[in-house]
Amino acid sequence: ALMAGNTCVMKHDPHVPACAEAIAELFDQVGAPANIMQNLPLATPDVAQAIADKRIRGVSFTGSDRAGAKVASMAAAAIKPAVLELGGSDPVIVLADANLDEAADAITTSRIINAGQSCIAAKRIIVEAPVYDDFLARLEQRLRKLTLGDPAREDTDVGPIARDDLRQNLHRQVTETIEQGARCVIGGEMPDGAGYYYPVTLLADVEPHMTAACEETFGPVAVVLKAENADQALTIANDTEYGLAASIWTTAERGEMLSLQMEAGQVVVNGLVKTDPRLPSGGIKRSGYGRELGPHGIHAFVNAQQVWIGPKQD
């Protein structure tokens, strides 16, 4: 938005005001023009008034689909464009011809980054039947090596969940999924002590109708499903209200072909799902609309103007 020539006001989640202050201060430190990026520490109920303000010309929101629906309705009521980057139940497909070690390494990183609290993290791991047990063993081996603890320590791999209510909801999802018939390979128990920690958890033999396969799991919980073949894997992957990011592990040529059938705004073949400032990023379905980054992201915050100059030519 700034690259396109706009000014911005930034409203962070009320739980992380220091992050917003730090970002705003960076613009002062580098000598950017005054007030092109301003921190707006509003209480959430006051957001509607800010969106309605005539000085605000567009809205970009990152958050849950529930909150995104509210922001979208506010922007629509004020007849203003919006970009929504919302939640996801991101699938990763591992087929029998994949490099299982490379897939297990990348999926472990993707699932655990930021304690699993990432909208584009791998959440549903769909493995083709012939390599299901083999891949599950490799994933378990990697997850068991991870250390849960203080994020300020160098030897910590997984930090805490952001809030207790989020941790409680994550545990509900795990508990319900186990009660529905899934197998808990590691983790799954709420730890004692201070801090909103949740153990690295691996749920196997998960079915598409189970809670952890239907809802977005925002924490260090790996959910593994079995598919008989690539067609069934695609069906399971697309059977969700979300459509943010996805990945496929197979041969490059086959992966490119299958990616065209994935219902997601971003698909990676044989790699880690991540954002790149050169490429558009965003979702479909309940994962939002519009695109951030890349040329599409710039175009989201400019107005296309037609200018015609006479006289008329014969």
Tell which residue, 257, 214, 208, 210, has the closest CA to residue 236.
208
Judge whether 239 lies within some domain: yes
DSSP secondary structure code for residue 127 in this structure: E
CA dist., res. 256 & res. 248, Å (int): 9
Judge whether 1 lies within some domain: no
Say how many domains are in the chain: 2
Q: Model's pTM, two decimal places?
A: 0.93
Catalytic residue status for 214: no
> pLDDT tens for residues 34-59?
999 999 999 889 999 999 999 999 99
Q: Any idea what the CATH number is for the domain that residue 209 is in?
A: 3.40.309.10
Judge whether 192 lies within some domain: yes
Cis peptide before 311 (omega within 30 of 0): yes
Helix (H) or strand (E) holding 60: strand 59-62
Q: Are 51 and 80 in contact (CB under 8 A)?
A: yes
**Helix spans in the chain (H):** 17-29, 47-52, 65-77, 100-112, 132-144, 164-179, 211-214, 230-238, 252-259, 294-299
Judge whether 45 lies within some domain: yes
pLDDT of residue 265: 96
pLDDT of residue 314: 79
Residues 155 and 17 in one domain: no
Question: Pick the catalytic residue: 19, 21, 85, 176?
Answer: 85
Query: Domain range for residue 133?
Result: 91-269
Residues 251 and 284 in one domain: no
pLDDT of residue 39: 95
Judge whether 208 lies within some domain: yes
Tell which residue, 112, 171, 172, 175, has the closest CA to residue 139.
112
Residues 81 and 23 in one domain: yes
Residues 50 and 24 in one domain: yes
pLDDT of residue 22: 96
Parts of the chain with a pLDDT under 70: none
Q: Which position has the token pair 């996805």?
A: 246
Question: Pick the catalytic residue: 8, 102, 119, 263?
Answer: 119
CA dist., res. 307 & res. 106, Å (int): 49
pLDDT of residue 248: 98
Residues 183 and 253 in one domain: yes
Residues 56 and 109 in one domain: no
Catalytic residue status for 119: yes
pLDDT of residue 44: 87
